[in-house]
Every structure is written in structure tokens, then in C-alpha cells.
């Protein structure tokens, strides 16, 4: 799944919180604020444009 596909599902592009490139591998992490408990969020990580990891905290 690409960042554009995630953006279409979530409704926003999120906030870029980390980005690096090492040995030709581009890695980017985005955070999306959510509704629920204080600090509710989801984080997603992409490598070379493909989703490789996701996590969430406090979402309803």
C-alpha cells in the first residue's frame, strides 16, 4: 500500500516525522492525529514508497 492509498483511506496525508535514505533505501514515517483518548494517533512507515509498518495508540 502506498502513501497515496493511505491518504485516501485516512483523509489526510499525515505529518512527516522522520525521513532517511541509506544504501538506496528511502524510509519515511508519518503520524496521523486521531480521535479517542488524549494523544490518540496512528503512525505508518514506508520504505521505497510501500507501507511496511503501522501502529496506533488510543484510537476509537
Concatenated DSSP letters for 1-31? --HHHHHHHHSS--EEEEEEEETTEEEEEEE
Task: List, in sequence order, every residue forming a beta bridge with 13; answer none if it has no partner.
Answer: none
Q: Output the pLDDT for position 36.
A: 82
How confident is the model over 2-40, as pLDDT tens digits? 999 999 999 999 999 999 999 999 999 999 998 888 889
Q: What is the CB neighbour count within 10 angstroms for residue 49?
A: 11
pTM over 0.75: yes
Amino acid at each position: 500500500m502506498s502513501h497515496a492509498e493511505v491518504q485516501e483511506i485516512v483523509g489526510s496525508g499525515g505529518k512527516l516525522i522522520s525521513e532517511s535514505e541509506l544504501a538506496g533505501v528511502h524510509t519515511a514515517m508519518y503520524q496521523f492525529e486521531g480521535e479517542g483518548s488524549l494523544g490518540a494517533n496512528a503512525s505508518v512507515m514506508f520504505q521505497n514508497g510501500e507501507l511496511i509498518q503501522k501502529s496506533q495508540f488510543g484510537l476509537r
